[in-house]
Amino acid sequence: MREKIILICEECLNRNYTVTKNPQKNPTRIELKKYCKYCNKYTIHKETK
């Protein structure tokens, strides 16, 4: 079953995105390069727990 996770910006530490992932196929934490509207640029967003 897929679970909801929250992505947090590395630079400004704002929680910008919610996504789903399959923990059986990807047990590690997700890192994606996404747009942050607070930093006004593309930054790395990490999964929070």
Quick: pLDDT tens for 14-23. Answer: 999 999 999 9
- How far apart are the C-alpha atoms of 19 and 33, rounded to whole Å? 13
Phi, psi of 2 (to 5 degrees): -80, 145
Is it the case that residue 39 has pLDDT exceeding 90?
yes
Looking at residue 49, its pLDDT comes to 76
For residue 46, the model assigns a pLDDT of 96
Structure tokens at 39: 């930093």
The CATH number of the domain holding residue 40 is 2.20.28.120
The pair of three-digit structure tokens given for residue 21, joined into one six-digit string: 């992932």
Q: Is the pTM of this model over 0.95?
A: no
- Tell me which residue range forms the domain holding 9: 3-47
Q: Average pLDDT for residues 37-41, to the nearest whole number? A: 95
Domains: count for the chain: 1
